[in-house]
Amino acid sequence: MSTRPTLAQAARYTTRSYVPGRYDCADLAIDVQLELFGRRVTLPCHPRRRAEQDKAVVTQRDAVSTRLNLAAGEQAETGCAVLMRALDGSWHIGTLFHDASGQPWVLHAHSTALGVLLQPLPELAALGLTVEEYRTWM
């Protein structure tokens, strides 16, 4: 049985940069899945323009992941995808981690100004992000 990746392993990704059109939140999520969880995630397409990305999230998410039903008792585990919405309505993705006490954190490539962040889940609201759903990768 393998151990789940730690918050310290997730923190190593905060040295990466968000580069519009070249390295975004989806790129980070894909890298983390492969490098820390051994999952090869392949998106049907990965547009680089924001409007096209939002459409792709809606049309592709069910092809690569399954929505967790928290109301039915399903648990969001370390490694799950966290789909969020920004204040402007655009979609954003991160990866869920839990610290040693079980508190949830999200690793995500936020912006050129802030880069890749590892934040306690409640702090996402300060960036105008709202968690819409948790998903497990296929």
Residue boundaries of the structural domains of the chain: 7-137
Q: Which residues pair with 84 in a beta bridge?
A: 92, 131
**Residue 54: closest CA among 26, 32, 28, 74:** 26
Of 70, 84, 71, nearest to 29 by C-alpha is 84
For residue 2, pLDDT over 70 is answered with: no
Give the C-alpha separation, 48 to 37, whole Å. Answer: 25
Binned at pLDDT 50, 70 and 90, residue 49 comes out as confident
Six-digit token pair at 129?
């992000």
Cβ–Cβ < 8 Å for 61, 45: no
Mean pLDDT, to the nearest integer, of 27-39? Answer: 97
pLDDT confidence of residue 45: 87
User: pLDDT digits over 77-99, tens only?
Assistant: 999 999 999 999 999 999 999 99
